[in-house]
């Protein structure tokens, strides 16, 4: 993996975790530094390190001939921070910011980019989520974190695409794809076929970051299977370390094994409380360092799916 540009900047502050209606309710990690790496010519990723509280999603940007595309606006303070990082790599205007989905840790920074003339982009299937849960979560964060959100005006995407949107100027090609309902109904990814790089948002993460509140885990497995068909070399996940294509299989395995284990216990007549206590996924702890039983929300969500208490 090329590392022509690499910088570590320590972050000496923390923020409250956004929990609730914006959709991101995990709050398990806290980045204590950010790492900016050029992973291909003109393609950068800003990866968050973590400790027990959360600061924001991984971000990226692609430098085209005459403009810049940003991937994930994140929270407002991280939008401001990534713009400063971008200005260390290019003075070209930031024309677009791609939101992989509506959650605040991926899209609440949109107003910062709109204020400098950039247009937020997302999949058409996320439009209703931005206009309902997204704005409710933003306004709640504005009340809870006035120092960070201040008087910002919520900025949903101004450009939506149905299934695929290609940005190609001959120097760079980025394909924005919606493959189906995964982490949310509107999930989309940024695929860079020239470099074999994909930015997955939270459709694929590397570690104990999965939030299932807006998900359909059966469909999510199908989306991951579709992604496996791409000739991927590098995955830039929504959270966690960069990885190779094998991360897709790891992420998929979690949902396959979680569903199978819960389905078996349901068939054995076990109640939800028993399932929470008895669930055992050794593989998950090997991958994340976290016991799968501690991901209570995920267990409840899959149980509801399998007992038809929650429609996908």
Rounded CA-CA distance 281/53 in Å is 24
Cβ neighbourhood burial of 257 (10 Å; 0-12, 13-18, 19+):
middle
The domain locations on the chain are 6-252
Residue 33, pLDDT score:
63
What long-range pairs does 32-37 form, CB within 8 A, spacing at least 24? Answer: 33/8, 33/9, 34/8, 34/9, 34/81, 35/6, 35/7, 35/8, 36/5, 36/6, 36/7, 36/9, 36/85, 37/1, 37/3, 37/5, 37/6, 37/242
Give 10-residue mean pLDDT values along the chain (312 residues): 39 32 36 80 89 80 99 96 98 99 98 99 99 98 94 98 98 99 99 99 97 98 99 98 98 99 98 97 96 97 91 53
Residue 80, pLDDT score:
97
Query: 6-252: CATH homologous superfamily?
Result: Ribonuclease Z/Hydroxyacylglutathione hydrolase-like (3.60.15.10)
How is residue 233 annotated by DSSP?
A: S
Question: Could you report how far apart the first and last alpha carbons of the chain are, in Å?
Answer: 38
Nearest to 192 by CA among 182, 206, 177: 177
């Amino acid at each position: 993996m090329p590392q022509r540009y690499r910088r570590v900047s320590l972050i000496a502050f923390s923020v409250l975790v956004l929990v609730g209606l914006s959709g991101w309710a995990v709050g398990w990690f806290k980045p204590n530094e950010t790492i900016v790496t050029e992973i291909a010519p003109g393609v950068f990723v800003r990866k968050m390190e973590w400790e027990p509280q959360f600061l924001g999603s991984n971000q990226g940007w692609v430098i085209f001939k005459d403009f810049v595309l940003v991937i994930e606006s994140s929270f407002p303070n991280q939008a401001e921070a990534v713009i400063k990082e971008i200005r260390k790599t290019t003075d070209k205007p930031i024309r677009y910011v791609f939101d992989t989905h509506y959650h605040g840790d991926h899209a609440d920074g949109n107003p910062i980019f709109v204020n400098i003339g950039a247009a937020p982009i997302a999949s058409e299937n996320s439009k209703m989520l931005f206009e309902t849960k997204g704005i409710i979560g933003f306004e709640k964060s504005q009340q809870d974190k006035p120092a960070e959100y201040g008087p910002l005006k919520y900025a949903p995407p101004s450009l939506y695409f149905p299934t695929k949107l290609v940005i190609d100027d001959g120097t760079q090609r980025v394909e924005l794809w919606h493959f189906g309902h995964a982490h949310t109904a509107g999930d989309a990814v940024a695929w860079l076929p020239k470099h074999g790089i994909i930015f997955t948002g939270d459709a694929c993460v590397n570690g104990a970051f999965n939030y299932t509140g807006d998900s359909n885990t059966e469909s999510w497995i199908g989306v991951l299977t579709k992604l496996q068909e791409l000739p991927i070399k590098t995955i830039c996940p929504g959270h966690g370390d960069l990885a190779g294509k094998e991360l897709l299989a790891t992420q998929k395995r979690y949902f396959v094994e979680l569903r199978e284990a819960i389905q078996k216990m349901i068939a054995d007549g076990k109640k939800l409380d028993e399932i929470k206590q008895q669930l055992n996924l050794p593989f998950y702890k090997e991958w994340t360092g976290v016991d799968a039983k501690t991901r209570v929300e995920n267990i409840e969500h899959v149980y509801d799916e399998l007992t038809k208490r929650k429609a996908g």
